[in-house]
Amino acid sequence: MTLIEWQDEFKIGIDEVDFEHQELIGLINDSYLEAKKEDSIMAVMDFLGEIFERISAHFALEEKVMKELDYDQFEDHKEDHERLLDSIRDIMDECMDVPALDEEKFGQHLKEWFSRHFSTKDARMHHFLHH
């Protein structure tokens, strides 16, 4: 089962950023599939570590693009990036504190985390770029 299906609405119109969005969705889906296996905490932690590294680099790219374009919502978008990184750390901490992973709760955290940012901050940036 796929946790997040790629949708064209996830595109912002910058090929490099859109490509990374697709890769991140793949990583999130892979981590969710791993979470469904027995005794998966360590493997999930590895996925989360990779997601954290990749999303940090991705956010740096987005922030560079926003600065270059003099994006009027840069500070707000950047603050949301920081909240999202904190959220990943919280998910990682939560995984470390439980004897067994609740894969449905884990999946819901990841899906909400990703979808919320796309439907608000990235959608606003897409609008800025194309209007």
Domain range summary for the chain, segments of one domain joined by +: 38-130
The answer to whether the pTM exceeds 0.75 is: yes
Q: Write 75-82 long-range contacts (CB < 8 A, 24+).
A: 76/121, 77/121, 77/124, 77/125, 80/117, 80/120, 80/121
How much is the pLDDT for 1? 67
Blockwise average pLDDT, block size 10, the chain, 131 residues: 84 89 90 81 85 92 94 94 89 78 78 82 87 74
